[in-house]
Amino acid sequence: MVEAVPHGEISIKDVCKSFPQIDAPDIVVLDNINLTFQPGEFISLIGPSGCGKSTLLRLIAGLAGADQGELRLDDAAITAPGYERGLVFQDPTLFPWKTIYENIAFGLRSRGVYKTEKQRIPEFIKLVGLEGFEKAYPHHLSGGMAQRAALARALVNNPKVLLLDEPLGALDAFTRMNMQDEILKIWERRGMTTVMVTHDVDEAIYMADRIVVMSARPAKIEQVITVEIGRPRQRDNVEFLELRAKILQILHYAGNREELQYYL
């Protein structure tokens, strides 16, 4: 059985991030961001397009550094990528020349622990429902199946934190809803802190314990909303619809009226 992992607390304190331009002022993306994600929480980041959600996720992943402020995982400063943080992008980014088994094994090989931990790979293949596809190549898989493989690749290193950057954005509606349920099952089973960027308000409400609503760039925290709806959640109940309306109203003030249709 795939074991649960130690929980991870993420602390983000006074974080600012900008990007330089040639012969123009720097683009300020994140402005004094302060957040704490509790161990085992499922967090959704939502906000106007281009506001800096993915940038914040990349800072947590260690793929970029903050201009000022500090990000910590438990007691350690985040200064570089680490295997205790698994990352899944919207594009599965699988190696097309490797089988699904070898794609999932890649993390173990890069850490130099493949020989001692390879027996765990079938457990993660089973966890994401890809039994029988171990020898298949990425082009043999549907979009949803490829994302399952990417998810297994991120999980095989037993991360404390799972980071999801719009991982379901390219999927059709039916597959997307199925994948939402699969991700929730894995999260509930393994208990890892999960942070997901999404543009879909319904997805955020359906999946998250708390929703961080960010303003337009330069992003500030507009509001942090606790989703006080029991699980499993029904998308058509009154509480769900009321929270949806509330978040859309916040987004109207956080961004532009014409962008609202993007979140529906």
Domain coverage including residue 131: 96-158
CA 131 to chain centre: 24
Binned at pLDDT 50, 70 and 90, residue 254 comes out as low
Does residue 58 sit in the same domain as residue 181? yes
State pLDDT tens for residues 54-71: 999 999 999 999 999 999
Judge whether residue 201 has pLDDT over 90: yes
Judge whether residue 119 has pLDDT over 90: yes
Does residue 174 sit in the same domain as residue 210? yes
- Residue 56 makes CB contacts below 8 A (sequence gap 6+) with 12, 15, 17, 30, 33, 45, 214, 219
**Residue 28 maps to a domain:** no
Span 28-42, average pLDDT: 95
| CA dist list (Å): 256 to 33, 87, 110, 223 | 21, 30, 44, 17
Total structural domains within the chain: 2
Does residue 119 sit in the same domain as residue 152? yes
Domain-ending residue, one of 115, 139, 158: 158
Rounded Cα gap, residues 255 and 249, in angstroms: 10
| CA dist list (Å): 19 to 24, 31, 81, 126, 191 | 11, 12, 20, 41, 35
pLDDT at 170: 82
- Give the number of other Cβ atoms within 10 Å of residue 201's Cβ: 24
The structure's pTM equals: 0.91
**Location of structure tokens 């996720």:** 57
Rounded Cα gap, residues 238 and 89, in angstroms: 32
Does residue 117 sit in the same domain as residue 4? no
Does residue 213 sit in the same domain as residue 244? yes
Judge whether residue 72 has pLDDT over 90: yes
State pLDDT tens for residues 85-100: 999 998 888 999 999 9
Binned at pLDDT 50, 70 and 90, residue 260 comes out as very low
How many Cα neighbours within 13 Å face the side chain of 20? 3
pLDDT at 40: 95
Record the tokens describing residue 41, joined without a space. 């929480």
- Residue 74 makes CB contacts below 8 A (sequence gap 6+) with 8, 9, 160
Domain-ending residue, one of 158, 180, 208: 158
Record the tokens describing residue 86, joined without a space. 């698994």
171, 214 contact by CB (below 8 A): no
Domain holding 182: CATH number?
A: 3.40.50.300
**Residue 242 maps to a domain:** yes
| CA dist list (Å): 88 to 61, 93, 183 | 10, 9, 12
Query: Across all residues in the chain, what is the average pLDDT?
Result: 90
How many Cα neighbours within 13 Å face the side chain of 30? 25
Q: What percent of the chain has pLDDT over 90?
A: 76
HEC-encoded secondary structure of 211-261: EEEECCCCECEEEEEECCCCCCCCCCCHHHHHHHHHHHHHHHHHCCHHHHH
Does residue 200 sit in the same domain as residue 251? yes
Does an H or E element contain 57, and which? helix 53-61
Span 11-21, average pLDDT: 94
Strand partners, 15: 33
Does residue 182 sit in the same domain as residue 222? yes
pLDDT at 159: 93
Rounded Cα gap, residues 231 and 233, in angstroms: 5
111, 99 contact by CB (below 8 A): no
